[in-house]
Amino acid sequence: MATRLQLLRVLPALLGLGYSLPVAAATTLPEQLIGITQAFLEQAVTTHLERSEIQARHGIEIQQIDPRLRLPACDQPLSASLESPAQPIGRVTVRVRCAGSSPWTVFVPGQVHIYRHVVVVNRPLKRKAILSPADLVLVERDIGLLNQGFLTAREQAAGKKLTRPVLPDQVLTAAHLEQAEVIHKGDQVVITARSASVSVRMPGEALSDGATGEQIRVRNQRSERVIKARVTGPGQVEVAM
């Protein structure tokens, strides 16, 4: 095998005869793909938070790209777009595209972390328990990992009833909650019969439990008739005339 010194001696002669040395083809390196993906996601997340008027901190991770990947250098500026999902939250895939004379497209995976304060319970609670403000705290969580949803204010859960048991530090979702009954069977209620111009009140007795907005059976204590009325608040029901 020719030594380095021998190659250096014959190199001028080869060049004089018109030979050219092989030149490494220009390529787009994985580091460039990571850089454009990072910059694109940073801008996309910032815009999303501003439009949504969300106060949150965020972080972006780009997964490693095979260092052996060699794509032709692009003679046009590279473009990036969000392939999935619709919003830059959680696991994302970014399409990086070269539209030059040697076009190519590559998909770069990443993870967008958006940290918001969400509602969790601070003690174990049983199904049908009524939540009080003392049961609820706000803690910071990565909402990209909360696929079942979340709540951002304690007022969204306080006073509502649990549909299932929960554990300490468990993130609450809308599926955990339902309206708590404000009227129970046997309660004395005020029945309001209302029309566009007239409102009449009469005493009644609830024949079933009911939450605000629900319809329950009520006995009119004056006429002894059983009617259906909509619960409007504790001890209050309403029927249309």
pLDDT digits (tens, 9 = 90+) for 80-124: 999 999 999 999 999 999 999 999 999 999 999 999 999 999 999
**pLDDT per residue over 141-194, tens digit each?**
999 999 999 999 999 999 999 999 999 999 999 999 999 999 999 999 999 998
Residue 241 vs residue 227, higher pLDDT: 227
The answer, yes or no, to whether residue 3 has pLDDT greater than 80, is no
pTM: 0.71
The residue extents of the domains of the chain are 27-114, 116-178, 182-240
The answer, yes or no, to whether residue 59 has pLDDT greater than 70, is yes
Residue range 17-38: mean pLDDT, rounded: 71
| Separation in Å, CA 170 to CA 15, 47, 58, 121, 123 | 74, 30, 22, 6, 9
User: What is the rounded distance in angstroms from the CA atom of residue 88 to the CA atom of residue 49?
Assistant: 10
Residue 25: band (very low, low, confident or very high) from pLDDT cuts 50, 70, 90: low
From the candidate CATH numbers 2.60.120.10, 3.40.190.10, 3.40.50.300, 3.90.1210.10, the one assigned to the domain spanning 116-178: 3.90.1210.10
- What CATH architecture does domain 182-240 belong to? Roll (2.30)
The answer, yes or no, to whether residue 22 has pLDDT greater than 70, is no
Angle at 183 between CA 181 and CA 187, to 5 degrees: 150
